[in-house]
Amino acid sequence: MSYLIKPINYRPLLDLKQTEQGIKLIKEFFQQNLSTELRLRRVTAPLFVLKGMGINDDLSGVERAVTFPIKDLDDAQAEVVHSLAKWKRLTLAEYDIDPGYGIYTDMNAIRADEKLGNLHSLYVDQWDWERVITEEDRTVAFLKDIVNRIYAAMLRTEFMVCETYPQIEPFLPKQVHFIHSEELRQMFPDLTPKEREDKITRQYGAVFIIGIGGRLGDGKVHDLRAPDYDDYSTIGENGLPGLNGDLLVWDSVIDRAVELSSMGIRVNKEAMLRQLALSGKEERKQLYFHRRLLEDALPLSVGGGIGQSRLCMVYLRKAHIGEIQASIWPDEMRKECAALGMPLI
């Protein structure tokens, strides 16, 4: 299994019963802290949306959404969400949320095209959140403040986990290291983006990489992003583009950088039009979500997603996300994982 990381001499610190209890504790504790830090109210979210409205997250633009016909709507096609990046912004408008406040929700998704392994599953569960901002907030400094607030909630959660399970030792650094993806490329020009992530995250323990989706100095992107939610083309700090990024922590269990959250200041009209043009997706301007944004019917916002199973996996020092959540795995992977001491649920 080419995507299976095989840690040497791995032994779970918690048994199955303790693991299930730990998952519950982490999810309850963290979401309450996230809500308090960012002033978010919980809302109910859809599992699927109508196809063709531009509401579903397109991720990198190549993933296929799971679709099905709706009998009572003349077989109109629905698709299971990839994430709720655009739906949340529509919801902010519907609830008429004031600047400085926002929403969060439990997002459940199916991503059928994921490459299955220690960090990727067909089933995705995350806290999707979105907060209304002002024009003055559309800066890298504001984005960093949001990242630091989320990380503060993560540190408090780590303390709770270690107090509950003394066999788990703290591992998160006190602060997040911020770096732009172009600066990272210049530091390690001969490495791939993922290798750069491992290099910098091993060094600092927790890193936020700014500017994901825009072209770097070598003409390539650090990672792909849909052009119609995160603003990755507006010039920000140090004259470099990007008002978005990824939060990664170093996981010594699997000896890898693990992305726990992707977030960003969302596109305004100008940024969306620019990014649609750069990506050759200008036909999306006719879709429902995009028309609402172009008509000034949606608030400016910042938002992102935080992986629930990944967060639990890292806190509980597990080696495979399948030790945290129930999903479908290749038989060969299940056998290998069982032999390595990491039985998959």
Sketch the domain layout of the chain as residue ranges: 16-339
pLDDT at residue 195 greater than cutoff 90: yes
Per-residue pLDDT at 30: 98
Residue 61 — very low, low, confident or very high, per pLDDT cuts 50/70/90?
A: low
Q: What is the mean pLDDT of residues 196-207?
A: 98
The average confidence (pLDDT) of the chain is 94
Q: Which of 51-55, 218-222, 334-338 has the lowest mean pLDDT?
A: 51-55
- The string of DSSP letters for 170-187 reads P---SSPEEEEHHHHHHH
Q: Within its chain, how far is the Cα of 146 from the centroid?
A: 14
Q: How many percent of the chain have pLDDT more than 70?
A: 98
Per-residue pLDDT at 59: 65
Sheet holding 40-42, edge to edge: 40-42, 102-110, 123-132, 301-307, 256-265, 244-251, 206-210, 177-180
Q: Are 86 and 284 in contact (CB under 8 A)?
A: no
Give the span between the Cα atoms of 86 and 303, in whole angstroms.
10
Is 28 catalytic? The answer is no
Could you report the per-residue pLDDT of 96-118, keeping only the tens digit for each?
Answer: 999 999 999 999 998 888 889 99
pTM higher than the cut 0.75? yes
Is 262 catalytic? The answer is yes
Question: Active-site residue among 35, 126, 275, 308?
Answer: 126
Question: Active-site residue among 233, 262, 308, 325?
Answer: 262
Question: Active-site residue among 37, 223, 259, 336?
Answer: 259
Give the span between the Cα atoms of 267 and 322, in whole angstroms.
35
SS3 content of the chain, % helix, strand, coil (to 5): 40, 20, 40
Is 230 catalytic? The answer is no
Residue 331 — very low, low, confident or very high, per pLDDT cuts 50/70/90?
A: very high
Helix, coil or strand: residue 109: strand
Could you report the per-residue pLDDT of 209-266, keeping only the tens digit for each?
Answer: 999 999 999 999 999 999 999 999 999 988 999 999 999 999 999 999 999 999 999 9
Per-residue pLDDT at 171: 97
Question: Active-site residue among 57, 58, 158, 197?
Answer: 57
Per-residue pLDDT at 54: 82
Per-residue pLDDT at 145: 98
Question: Active-site residue among 128, 137, 182, 246?
Answer: 246
Per-residue pLDDT at 320: 97
Question: Active-site residue among 58, 89, 111, 182?
Answer: 111
Q: Are 209 and 264 in contact (CB under 8 A)?
A: no
Per-residue pLDDT at 1: 44
CATH of the domain spanning 16-339, picked from 3.30.70.270, 3.50.50.60, 3.90.1150.10, 3.30.930.10: 3.30.930.10
Could you report the per-residue pLDDT of 31-41, keeping only the tens digit for each?
Answer: 999 999 999 99
pLDDT at residue 144 greater than cutoff 70: yes
Q: Which of 61-75, 182-196, 314-328, 331-345 has the lowest mean pLDDT?
A: 61-75
Q: What's the number of CA atoms in the CB half-sphere (13 Å) around residue 40?
A: 29
Is 246 catalytic? The answer is yes
Could you report the per-residue pLDDT of 145-180, keeping only the tens digit for each?
Answer: 999 999 999 999 999 999 999 999 999 999 999 999
Give the span between the Cα atoms of 191 and 95, in whole angstroms.
45
Residue 72 — very low, low, confident or very high, per pLDDT cuts 50/70/90?
A: very high
Q: Which residues 6+ apart lie within 8 Å of 194 measured at CB?
A: 257
pLDDT at residue 314 greater than cutoff 90: yes
Alpha helices (runs of H) in the chain, residue ranges in sequence order: 16-38, 85-95, 140-164, 181-187, 193-204, 269-279, 288-294, 308-315, 331-339
Strands (E) located in 182-285: 206-210, 244-251, 256-265
